[in-house]
Amino acid sequence: MRLVNFRAQGHTSCGLVVSRGVVDLRARLGERAGNVLSLLRAGLIGAAQQLSESAQRDYSDAEVQLLNPAGRGTRYFCIGVNYPDRNEEYKDETERPKYPSIFMRSHTSFSAPGEPLVRPRESEQLDYEGEIALLIGEGGRRISQADALRHVFGYCCANEGSVRDWLRHSKFNVTQGKNFDRSGSIGPAVVTADEVGTTALEIITKVNGEVRQHDSSDRMIFPIPYLISYLSQFCTLETGDVILTGTPSGAGARFNPPRYLVPGDVVEVEVSRVGVLRNEVEDDNG
């Protein structure tokens, strides 16, 4: 299944993606199906699956405005430096890390699919980072690597955008540069794990049609099962938690000179069997 959060005709809902449109799950299943997170927490995935086999669309694609499919009521765990070439880009002659680098993002730092990425007034160093994101279905503590994929509900594309100079405002803290409003994006849909499968996922990031990043999940330094297990050792993972699994080499900051995003640029993040996330860049005029 492919699930989205959307707005249409003055109301918001969780949608089931079907041919050339969406099925309105709130209209079919009630208020607990108002968004992807509430649908998941209410245990209504089976009911949505039944609708996917027969229901006709309630809205066409043109009538729907997509929203962040993960939403507000969740945590965003972000993994840094998780591809071998990415580690080597730092040119600091350090060995590959023994444990993942982890930081958090808030929901306000993500634009919806198709909405603008916002370059803030405080910096001209807005950068892209294409990533594979996953949504936790069944939570847990001290999850084994062998059981980890059983806890994945689905996958999304993500642009874990960064404001580079603000990453260096303090000695050990990247939080500021990772949380500017609408500096990243996530979507367009949550694609359930059974549809995605377990073979490696290819990730490609394009800026104005030019391939900037291209890699595969089987090259991650810390694979997805390890990340789930590691995170669950120090905190209980909960239904709806999102893990952004790291970006490959090729971010704009690593070019000489750097190639930061400017208004009018279009960033596309494609994850095989998941979809394409597309956003245009604009300046913050607020």
Q: Do residues 159 and 185 touch, judged by C-beta distance below 8 A?
A: yes
- Is the per-residue pLDDT at 259 higher than 60? yes
Compute the average pLDDT of residues 232-240: 97
* Alpha-carbon separation of residue 188 from 85, 114, 115, 133, 205 (angstroms): 27, 8, 11, 11, 15
Q: Return contacts of 13-17, CB within 8 angstroms, 24+ apart.
A: 14/38, 14/39, 15/59, 15/64, 16/48, 16/51, 16/52, 16/55, 17/189
Fold assignment, 76-283: Fumarylacetoacetate hydrolase; domain 2 (3.90.850)
User: Nearest Cα to 161, choosing from 254, 241, 252?
Assistant: 252
**What is the share, in percent, of the chain residues with pLDDT greater than 70?**
97
From CA 100, how far away is CA 231, in angstroms rounded?
9
Domain chopping of the chain, boundaries: 2-67, 76-283
What confidence tens digit (pLDDT) does each residue in 5-46 have?
999 999 999 999 999 999 999 999 999 999 999 999 999 999
